[in-house]
Amino acid sequence: MALQLSYFHVPAEMPTDLQPKAAVVIDVLRATTTIGWALKNGAEAVQAYADLDQLRTEAAAWPEASRLLLGERGGAMLEGFDLGNSPVAVTSDVVGGKRLFMSTTNGTRALDRARSVPLLVTAALPNRRAVVEKLLTEKPETVAIIGSGWEGSYSLEDSLAAGAVGALMLELSNGAIDVANDEMTAALALWSQWKHDPEACLRTASHGQRLIGLGDHDADFRCCAAVDQLDVVPTQHEPGVLRLASST
């Protein structure tokens, strides 16, 4: 039976009775790009939170020398946190060996919604191929791609990445994928339109415009738009905790 592939623009659109075998959470600008690069650069794990009070409580129980707090609201770094949500800031000398306690406006909420799914991974444009190869190796019967959106509404850049993931899955499986909803079909069309210049799409998106308004984020845009440049698959190993998994 062909793998069933669905896409949901935001976590709330995923039906409560849907129990996919695998979920792919996407927050291109910038949480899942940051998570991928943090783990690639040696972070011990990324622990994601929708609730800031819970994050602070659990982080306080972790040795101070072995933890970092990452967070943003509205694109701006949270007061009292070590880092915001930039993939270019999570360098090996900063995050190596550390547990990252992370909360963002949108992405960590999507992770919270999918935490009960048996195989939960995060994807962005840089680790697209690694995630697709992982899924095709694991062969789950049903895959739900979940966009993080922006405060509960549609996000252009997340749909672009969903289309990028879906297009490569179709290509590498020789079409042995069933596109299970209209949202996935639309995402594939969006990727077809922008695949030759994904950074332009990220900058056109409303959240891209929001980041531009906050200051110089050119390095973040370049990093978030760099397709297939990262060979890691952030994978949930216990509820809310993402660690490194290889693509195969």
Question: Which pLDDT belongs to residue 75?
Answer: 81
How far is residue 60's CA from residue 58's CA, in Å, rounded to a whole number?
A: 5
How far is residue 165's CA from residue 128's CA, in Å, rounded to a whole number?
A: 6
Domain boundaries, the chain: 3-232
If you average pLDDT over residues 223-240, what whole number do you get?
97
Task: Please spell the DSSP secondary structure of 8-30, one letter per residue.
Answer: ESSGGGS-TT---SEEEEE-TTT
Question: Which pLDDT belongs to residue 245?
Answer: 75
How far is residue 186's CA from residue 191's CA, in Å, rounded to a whole number?
A: 9
Question: Which pLDDT belongs to residue 108?
Answer: 86
Contact 81/67 with Cβ under 8 angstroms? Answer: no
Q: Which residue has the higher pLDDT, 214 or 99?
A: 99
Question: Which pLDDT belongs to residue 247?
Answer: 44
Contact 68/100 with Cβ under 8 angstroms? Answer: yes
For 45, 57, 65, 66, 152, the CA distances from 61, given in Å and listed in that order, are 15, 7, 12, 11, 31
How far is residue 86's CA from residue 71's CA, in Å, rounded to a whole number?
A: 10
- pLDDT tens per residue, range 4-46: 999 999 999 999 899 999 999 999 999 999 999 999 999 999 9
Question: Which pLDDT belongs to residue 76?
Answer: 84
Percentage, residues of the chain above pLDDT 90: 88
Contact 28/146 with Cβ under 8 angstroms? Answer: no
Strand order in the sheet with 241-243: 76-77, 67-73, 99-103, 45-48, 241-243, 235-238, 119-123, 22-26, 142-147, 3-8, 177-179
Q: What amino acid occupies position 141?
A: E
How far is residue 166's CA from residue 33's CA, in Å, rounded to a whole number?
A: 18
- pLDDT tens per residue, range 78-123: 999 999 999 999 999 999 999 999 998 888 889 988 999 999 999 9
Long-range Cβ contact pairs of 181-185 (< 8 A, separation 24 or more)? 181/6, 181/7, 183/6, 183/7, 183/8, 183/9, 183/13, 183/159, 184/5, 184/6, 184/7, 184/145
pLDDT above 90: residue 248: no
For 138, 160, 248, the CA distances from 157, given in Å and listed in that order, are 26, 5, 26
If you average pLDDT over residues 128-139, what whole number do you get?
97
CATH class of domain segment(s) 3-232:
alpha beta
Lowest model confidence (mean pLDDT) among 110-114, 141-145, 187-191: 110-114
Contact 206/216 with Cβ under 8 angstroms? Answer: no
If you average pLDDT over residues 181-207, what whole number do you get?
98
pLDDT above 50: residue 158: yes
Q: Give the three-class secondary structure for 165.
A: helix
If you average pLDDT over residues 200-206, what whole number do you get?
97
Contact 67/59 with Cβ under 8 angstroms? Answer: yes
